[in-house]
Amino acid sequence: MRARIAVLPGDGIGPEVIAEAVKVLKRVAQTYEHEFTFQEALVGGAAIDAVGDPLPAETLQLCRESDAVLFGAVGGPRWGDPRAAARPEQGILSLRQGLGLFANLRPVKVHPDLLTASPLKPDILAGVDLVVVRELTGGIYFGQPRVEGSERAVDTMVYTRAEVERIAHVAFRLARGRRHKVTSVDKANVLACSRLWRHTVDQVARNYPDVELEHLLVDAAAMHLLRRPRDFDVIVTGNMFGDILTDEASMLAGSMGLLPSASLRGDTFGLYEPIHGSAPDIAAPRSPQLWGDRGAIANPLAAILSAAMLLRYSLRLEAEATAVEGAVAAVLSQGYRTRDIAEEGKQQVGTREMGDLIELEIGN
């Protein structure tokens, strides 16, 4: 198979972790006799510094001409002024909107060897395997912000029936291939948008009589994610609620450095990124102070697992995706850990070393 992959490393630890994901994809191509080409482009703060725009037209065009996008992270204190006309976060928001990426899939699966990496008790975590389906191009993040002098600011949340229908269908179809349960999360006791959300999800559910549907208010969902996470299969929710709940859910796995994501639009095209941010405090220029002479310390597993999702959803290479996930599991089972999930008695490694270990497992 031939595939063209746009690579947008971004800021902070983005370039470090994406380099390992690309390395693993190159190993997959070599092992399974595919031809993958990679082309890098600017996004986020790096793009602001270079051309004054967090999403240059050339970057968006490259993404449109590619089969998939591998994305790192954007942001950092040097671009932290919220009043600035150009901010790094505008890059990823504009990408989602410009590419029509309305469905964000964030799987959370707790590896048996990492049950002690989470602050939760192991007996609560054992067997956790869920997916959050987050609506990505609507809601309050794409509303109409308004600042009224220095004393008042307004943000608007808007959802249409069509937007809710299409994300609900994604969730129900996904559940049919899993454990046949969808949990829809909203705030229908307060928000008009959420009442429309709940009614629309109920209507869509009629098309999937084999899938169980439950509704939860977002505050209750936040509690139950920590209290009974094994009960969840597929969670579908709006943009802001999904953003918050998936960061919370990362603690089930033990670290944000472990969780991948896929942003899809209904065909095979997708953008794949780790859910973590740019983590500028541990990015490469500072890493020697923390790690001596061994280089970067960021966990590349979320980026590598995002590459596995790219293989599965955009390239339809299930065996190859499973091989990458198996390699990650094998390396963790062998006792290798990055700094964020370090445990006593385990071998601590850096970003590049972890990528090397996983690369070597591919095809073994």
Domain closes at, from 253, 280, 301: 253
For the chain, give the percent of residues with pLDDT over 70: 97
* H-run or E-run covering 70: strand 68-73
Q: How far apart are CA 330 and CA 128, in angstroms?
A: 19
Tell me: pLDDT of 287 over 50.
Answer: no
Into how many domains does the chain fold? 2
Catalogue the active-site residues: 141, 187, 219, 243, 247
Average pLDDT, stretch 32-41?
A: 98
The answer on pLDDT for 6 being more than 50 is yes
Overall average pLDDT of the 69-86 stretch: 90
Under the banding of pLDDT at 50, 70 and 90, the label for residue 284 is low
* pLDDT, tens digit (0-9, with 9 covering 90-100), for 100-151: 999 999 999 998 988 888 888 999 999 999 999 999 999 998 888 888 888 9
Of the candidates 253, 275, 308, which is a domain's last residue? 253
Give the pLDDT band of residue 85 (cuts 50, 70, 90). Answer: confident
The mean of the pLDDT values for the chain is 93
Give the pLDDT of residue 105.
Answer: 97
Tell me: pLDDT of 286 over 90: no
pLDDT at 355: 96
Assess if residue 89 is contained within a domain.
Answer: yes
From the list 238, 227, 260, the residue with the least C-alpha distance to 140 is 238
Strand partners, 186: 217
Q: Among 127-131, 279-283, 286-290, which is the least confidently predicted range?
A: 286-290
Mean pLDDT of 248-273: 92
Q: How far apart are CA 298 and CA 10, in angstroms?
A: 15
User: Where in the sequence is the domain holding 161, given as residue range(s)?
Assistant: 118-253
Same domain, 248 and 272: no
Same domain for 171 and 248, yes or no, is: yes
Phi-psi region of 336 (alpha: psi -120 to 50; beta: other; left: phi over 0): beta
Q: Is the pLDDT of residue 251 over 70?
A: yes
Q: Is the pLDDT of residue 31 over 50?
A: yes
Largest CA distance in the chain: 63
pLDDT at position 295 is 61
Asked if residues 139 and 159 have their Cβ atoms less than 8 Å apart, the reply is yes
- What is the DSSP annotation of 115-171? TTTSSS-HHHHTT-EEEEEEE-SSSGGGS--EEETTTEEE------HHHHHHHHHHH
Same-domain pairing of 247 and 347: no
Tell me: do 271 and 239 sit in the same domain. Answer: no
Query: What's the distance, Cα to Cα, between the start and end of the chain in Å?
Result: 21
**What distance in Å separates the CA atoms of residue 143 and residue 123, rounded to the nearest whole number?**
41
Q: Looking at the structure, do residues 84 and 122 belong to the same domain, yes or no? A: no
DSSP structure class, residue 363: T
249 compared with 271, residue with greater pLDDT: 271
Global pTM? 0.92
Q: In the numeric block, which tokens belong to residue 277? A: 């941010």
Section 268-277 average pLDDT:
95
Examine the domain organization and report whether 203 and 218 are in the same domain.
yes
Does 198 share its domain with 323?
Answer: no
Same domain, 243 and 342: no
Assess if residue 109 is contained within a domain: no
46 pLDDT more than 80? yes
Residues 346-354, mean pLDDT to the nearest whole number: 94
pLDDT of residue 294 exceeding 60, the answer is: no
Which CATH number is 285's domain given?
3.40.718.10
Kindly state whether residue 110 falls inside one of the protein's structural domains. Answer: no
Burial of 82 per CB tally in 10 Å (0-12, 13-18, 19+): exposed
136 and 242 co-located in one domain: yes
Q: Locate 228 and state its tokens.
A: 């009974």
Q: Which of 42, 106, 89 is nearest to 306 (CA)?
A: 106
